[in-house]
Structure 1
Amino acid sequence: MAEVQAVKNLDTVKLISYLLKRTYGQQIADVWDVGLNLALRISDLLSIKFENIEHDRLLLVEGKTSKLATIKLNEKARAVIARIRSERPDHIYLFQSYRNQRSKNTPAKPLSRRYVSRAFAAIGEEVGIDLGTHSMRKTRGYHLYKNTNDIARVMKMLRHSSEAVTLRYIGITQEDVDRDFVELEL
């Protein structure tokens, strides 16, 4: 499996959202748009229940680390969540699977990671990027770093414990560091 990338161009971020909606529907585009704004691992993103959302905050115990993530929702995330909630008031999960809805005895389930991963990979091929479910998290980290140059903030947002891991994760290469030294003259 190829390592997925952060999407470094903001126009491409928007294009991916558009292509996901056009090809796979609004729900998968919503996964992308909300995922970009929450920087969660895909398993945590798909496991969000409406009960985890209190006003403008998401409270969630992360599956991988068992740490409590408390994330203030920005305007875009709140708008998407509010729309989904109004369109699907009976849903338990933010990204609930529509499969087996006719069966009353089947408990609700979120979208599968596999389905989301395949959709992202197909759109990634279309735009020429190794795109996957981690791309949302990596993209948010990359753009936060580029806007602030504060690796500590990115580490805290991604809940990483090492600068080296965070830099590698968001795709900051030695070439990027070299360019920063050349471009910033004091």
Structure 2
Amino acid sequence: MAEVQAVKSLDTVKLISHLLDRHYGQQMADIWNVGLNLALRITDLLSIRFSDIQAERLLLKEGKTGKLANIKLNQKTIEIIHRIRVEHPTHFYLFQSYRNQRAGNVPPAPLSRRYVSRAFALIGEDVGIDLGTHSMRKTRGYHLYKSTKDIARVMKMLRHSSEGVTLRYIGITQEDIDKDFVELEI
């Protein structure tokens, strides 16, 4: 299995959202768009309950690390969450599986990581990128780094403990660093 990539072109980020909506529906496009804005691991993203959202903040204990993610929501994310709440007022999870609505006494559950992963991989083939569920998190980190050049800030956002891990994770290569040296003349 190939390592998934950050999406480095903002036009491609928008194209992926459009293709997910067209081929898999609004819910899958919402996962992509919210995932880009929250930079959470997919299991944490899919486990978000409406009760985890307090005013304009998301308070969530991360499954992998046990760390508290206390994230201020941006306007785009707030609008998506509000629309989902209005369209599905009885849902427990932000990205709840619709299958459970049909089953009588089955408790609500979020979409499966596997389903989302498959959809992303197929869209990735269409756009020529090794796309996966981690691509949302990597893309957010990559674009924050490109706009600020502040690796410590990216590390904090991703809740990483090593600069090297963060640079490798977001796909910053020696070629990118060389380009930065050439483009910035003082």
Distance 1:59 1:97 in 2: 22
The equivalent residue for 1:145 is 145
The equivalent residue for 1:88 is 88
User: TM-score of the superposition, structure 2-length normalised?
Assistant: 0.99
Distance 1:136 1:146 in 2: 15
Question: Is the contact made by 2:100 and 2:107 (CA closer than 8 Å) also made in structure 1?
Answer: no
Cα shift at 1:102: 1.9
Matches within 5 A, 1:85-124: 85-124=85-124
Distance 2:130 2:99 in 1: 28
Structure 1 residue matching 2:102: 3-state secondary structure: coil
Structure 1 residue matching 2:69: 3-state secondary structure: strand
User: TM-score of the superposition, structure 1-length normalised?
Assistant: 0.99
The equivalent residue for 2:159 is 159
Structure 2 residue matching 1:91: 3-state secondary structure: coil
Distance 2:24 2:71 in 1: 28
Cα shift at 1:104: 2.1
How many positions carry a matched residue from both structures?
186
Distance 1:106 1:67 in 2: 30
Cα shift at 1:103: 1.7
Distance 2:100 2:90 in 1: 15
Question: Is the contact made by 2:116 and 2:133 (CA closer than 8 Å) also made in structure 1?
Answer: yes
Identity of paired residues, percent?
Answer: 78
Q: In structure 1, list runs of 5 or more residues that go unmatched.
A: none
The equivalent residue for 1:68 is 68
Report the residue type matching 2:26 in the other structure. Q
Q: In structure 2, list runs of 5 or more residues that go unmatched.
A: none
Structure 2 residue matching 1:69: 3-state secondary structure: strand
Distance 1:131 1:143 in 2: 16
C-alpha distance after superposition, 1:15-36 (max 9, x if no partner) = 0000000000000000000000
Question: Is the contact made by 2:59 and 2:71 (CA closer than 8 Å) also made in structure 1?
Answer: yes
